[in-house]
């Protein structure tokens, strides 16, 4: 089941959003941290307590299995490095889980990759839901359902004052981290990014690049997330985040129009050039591919080049990652081969998108 997901160039959050308002909001995510009473937190587990804790969690999953038929329980030891890399690139696991999972860590995952639970990583449970487009409310609802299911069996550590008790006190309260992934090329091009990042932190939000860091994000993909986890309800946090994302979208749209009006020739040239390179290049390195795909996404959003579905652009972005490239090629690749196949696979995607 997980095998099927690993063999695709996509994952739930990269698919077409239900209602596509614009291409600026890529995806939404909600993550809930939950820990058990009377069990040491994951970083304090040892071989003995770790095994006991896994047993508790696995039993809980088994008793929920009827309600969760499309889920699979995975021991990271059963996964190859390549498979972990794929899950990492699909944003379903953390680098820590991919590189250095302890004996007592587990992964519970839904077949379409929309829901996953990391067990005994930072917390006993980290329930995550990721969906395409602006969909925090739906992410929260789905994560809550899974949470309720597991809580029927597991004794969560909960306190009336502090809320859900988590391994790290910065998560305490709701235990929730919500985030929205946005494509913000115009904000970056107009030099306003550092100002926006600063504004976000004043609003109690965190902003950083999906690939690379805050100020130098490849592909202009940025994630905003809440820093506050206590004193506000989950719904309040989500709706605030969606409001801020909405403002960023407006700002981005405005700046796109400004850029186009001020310098229409170079602006359009940049996009048509990216389109040409993506369709004809023999080699594309990762940084170049991400940057050209960003220009392409921008061009499609603004109607400068013909329609290419968001899902296809997302697939090409995923395919620019080394794990996905090697999976599709079916073997380990040298750096030069990667650049060559990256170009080839992107062209395949683009030619299919054109005819469909």
Partner 1 sequence: MAYCDHCKKNPATMHMIQFINGERTEYNLCEECAAEMGGSLFLPDAQFSLPNLLGSVFESVLGGAQAHKSQTKICPSCKTPFSEVGKTGKVGCSDCYAAFADEIESSLRRVQGNAQHVGKIPARNGKPAQMRKQIERYKQQLQKAIGMEEYEKAAEFRDKIKELEKQL
Check residue 230 for interaction with partner 1 (CB under 8 A): yes
Check residue 174 for interaction with partner 1 (CB under 8 A): yes
Nearer to partner 1, 33 or 300 (CB): 33
Question: Shortest CA distance to 283 belongs to which of 350, 336, 352?
Answer: 336
Shortest gap between Cβ of 4 and partner 1 (angstroms)?
Answer: 22
Interactions with partner 1, residue window 139-158 (CB under 8 A): 144, 148, 151-152, 155-158
Please say whether the beta carbons of 324 and 86 come within 8 A: yes
Residue 66, judged by CB atoms within 10 A of its CB (0-12, 13-18, 19+), counts as: exposed
Shortest gap between Cβ of 333 and partner 1 (angstroms)?
Answer: 10
Q: Looking at 228, 304, 329, 350, which residue binds partner 1 (CB under 8 A)? A: 228
Nearer to partner 1, 155 or 269 (CB): 155
Question: Shortest CA distance to 183 belongs to which of 323, 328, 313, 341?
Answer: 313
Q: Looking at 62, 65, 233, 351, which residue binds partner 1 (CB under 8 A)? A: 233
Interactions with partner 1, residue window 68-107 (CB under 8 A): 88-89, 91, 94-95
Candidates 9-17, 29-37, 74-82, 266-274: pick the segment binding partner 1 (CB under 8 A): 29-37
Candidates 107-115, 168-176, 273-281, 305-313: pick the segment binding partner 1 (CB under 8 A): 168-176
Distance CA 133, CA 28 (A): 6
Q: Looking at 51, 81, 99, 159, which residue binds partner 1 (CB under 8 A)? A: 159
Interactions with partner 1, residue window 234-263 (CB under 8 A): 234
Shortest gap between Cβ of 116 and partner 1 (angstroms)?
Answer: 14
Nearer to partner 1, 89 or 301 (CB): 89
Q: Looking at 18, 44, 55, 262, which residue binds partner 1 (CB under 8 A)? A: 44
Candidates 2-10, 102-110, 167-175, 184-192: pick the segment binding partner 1 (CB under 8 A): 167-175
Interactions with partner 1, residue window 259-298 (CB under 8 A): 285-288, 290
Interactions with partner 1, residue window 187-216 (CB under 8 A): 204, 206, 208, 210-213
Check residue 46 for interaction with partner 1 (CB under 8 A): no
Nearer to partner 1, 256 or 342 (CB): 342
Interactions with partner 1, residue window 330-349 (CB under 8 A): 335-336, 338-339
Distance CA 120, CA 126 (A): 8
Residues making contact with partner 1 (CB under 8 A):
35-41, 43-44, 88-89, 91, 94-95, 144, 148, 151-152, 155-165, 167-170, 172-174, 176, 204, 206, 208, 210-213, 218, 223, 227-234, 285-288, 290, 321-322, 335-336, 338-339
């Amino acid at each position: 089941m997980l095998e099927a997901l690993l063999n695709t160039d996509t994952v739930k959050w990269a698919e077409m959003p239900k209602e596509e308002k614009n291409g600026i909001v890529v995806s939404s995510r909600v993550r809930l941290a939950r820990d058990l009473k009377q069990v040491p937190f994951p970083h304090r587990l040892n071989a003995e307590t770790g095994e006991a804790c896994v047993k508790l969690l696995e039993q809980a999953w088994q008793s929920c299995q009827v309600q969760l038929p499309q889920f699979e329980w995975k021991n990271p030891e059963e996964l190859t490095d390549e498979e972990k890399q794929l899950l990492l690139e699909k944003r379903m696991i953390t680098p820590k889980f991919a590189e250095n999972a302890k004996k007592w860590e587990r992964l519970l995952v839904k077949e379409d990759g929309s829901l996953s639970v990391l067990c005994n990583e930072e917390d006993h449970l980290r329930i995550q839901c990721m969906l395409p487009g602006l969909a925090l409310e739906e992410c929260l609802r789905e994560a809550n359902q899974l949470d309720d299911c597991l809580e029927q069996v597991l004794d969560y550590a909960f306190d009336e004052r502090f809320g859900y008790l988590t391994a790290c006190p910065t998560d305490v309260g709701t235990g929730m981290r919500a985030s929205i992934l946005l494509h913000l090329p115009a904000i970056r091009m107009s030099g306003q990014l550092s100002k926006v990042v600063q504004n976000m932190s004043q609003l109690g939000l965190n902003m950083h690049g999906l690939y690379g860091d805050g100020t130098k994000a490849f592909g202009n993909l940025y994630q905003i997330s809440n820093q506050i986890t206590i004193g506000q309800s989950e719904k309040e946090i989500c709706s605030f985040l969606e409001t801020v994302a909405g403002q960023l979208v407006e700002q981005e749209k405005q700046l796109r129009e400004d850029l186009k009006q001020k310098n229409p020739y170079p602006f359009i040239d940049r996009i048509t050039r990216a389109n040409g390179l993506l369709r004809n290049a023999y080699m594309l390195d990762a940084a170049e591919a991400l940057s050209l795909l960003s220009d392409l996404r921008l061009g499609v959003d603004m109607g400068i080049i013909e329609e290419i579905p968001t899902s296809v652009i997302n697939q090409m972005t995923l395919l620019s990652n080394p794990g996905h490239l090697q999976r599709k090629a079916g073997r380990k690749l040298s750096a030069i081969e990667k650049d060559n196949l990256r170009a080839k696979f992107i062209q395949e995607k683009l030619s299919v998108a054109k005819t469909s």
